Amino acid sequence: MMSISKFTPDDATWIRFGDAGVYIGNVLHEKNSTSMGGGFACFLPQSAMTWTPSYDEVIVVQSGEFTVDSESGSTTAGPGELVWVKASIPVTFRAGREKTWIAFATHPIWDSTPESRAQTAALQPVDGPPSD
C-alpha cells in the first residue's frame, strides 16, 4: 500500500445500522490499516444511532446538521465543523432535517475492539448508502 491514499464513498465497504437510516462506509479497517479506522457515514433525515464507542473518534460534517448527545449534553455541528467523541462515553448520533454526510476517523480501528464487536449485531452489509 502507498504511504498516501485517497478514498471516496465509492471505495467504502458499506453497512447499515439496523433500520435506523444510518449507513456506514469503512475505508480504513483491519485489512489495510494497523493503527486507525476511517470512512464515511450517511444519516437519513431525523435518523439516530445510539452507540458506546470503545475508541476515540473524530467526525467531520460534510453536509447537513449532525448532533451528538451524551449524558453531559449535546453538541451540534454543520458542514466543515469537527466533533471529537471520547472512548467509553455512551452517545446518540443523529441527523437534522436533511440527509447528513460525515467523514470519521477512529483510534483504534472502530470495529476491531471486543466492545464494538459485541454491539455489531445491528450492522448489516449493504451495497451502499441510499441514492439521492
How large is the average pLDDT for residues 15-23? 92
What average pLDDT does the segment 13-29 reach? 92
Domain covering 19-124: architecture: Sandwich (2.60)
Q: Which residue ranges make up each domain of the chain?
A: 19-124
Grid cell in block for residue 66? 449532525
Nearest one of 87, 94, 34 to 64, comparing CA atoms = 94
Identify which of 95, 24, 94, 39 has the alpha carbon closest to the alpha carbon of residue 64. 95
- Torsion angle in degrees (nearest 10) through CA of 105, 76, 65, 59: 0
| pTM of this structure | 0.88
- Prior bond to 114 cis, omega within 30? no
Tens digits of residue pLDDT in 60-86: 999 999 999 999 999 999 999 999 999
Is 70 exceeded by the pLDDT of residue 113?
no
